[in-house]
Amino acid sequence: MMIGDFAEQVHILLTIFPGSVTSGFRSQKRNQDVGGGESSWHLAGLAADIVLDNMSEPYRIKCVQRAKRMNLDAFDEGDHIHIEVNN
């Protein structure tokens, strides 16, 4: 998946589940500063951390399920949802 395609998918997801991207593309230094992995998709612009306007657990679960149906990997981190390309 290309960066533009990924960004469009995240935009669609946030249209369905309103919220904000809190982290997208990261530099090596920023990724290290926040404890990101050396092979993080954030370094390629193919990952995003999102915070939903409604962060209730049932709503987060629905968002993760929808992301997976959109062929994205999604992980509920509690205080945010991590979205990345599905490889």
pLDDT digits (tens, 9 = 90+) for 43-71: 999 999 999 999 999 999 999 999 999 99
Instruction: Give the pLDDT score at 50.
Output: 98
Among all chains, which residue has been given the structure tokens 């809190």? 22
Instruction: Give the pLDDT score at 24.
Output: 93
Instruction: Give the pLDDT score at 5.
Output: 95
- SS3 state of residue 48: strand
Could you write out the DSSP letters of every residue in 6-33?
HHHHHHHHHHHS-EEEEE-S--HHHHHH
Confidence class of residue 11 from pLDDT cuts 50, 70 and 90? Answer: very high
Torsion sign across C-alpha atoms 63, 36, 32, 26: negative
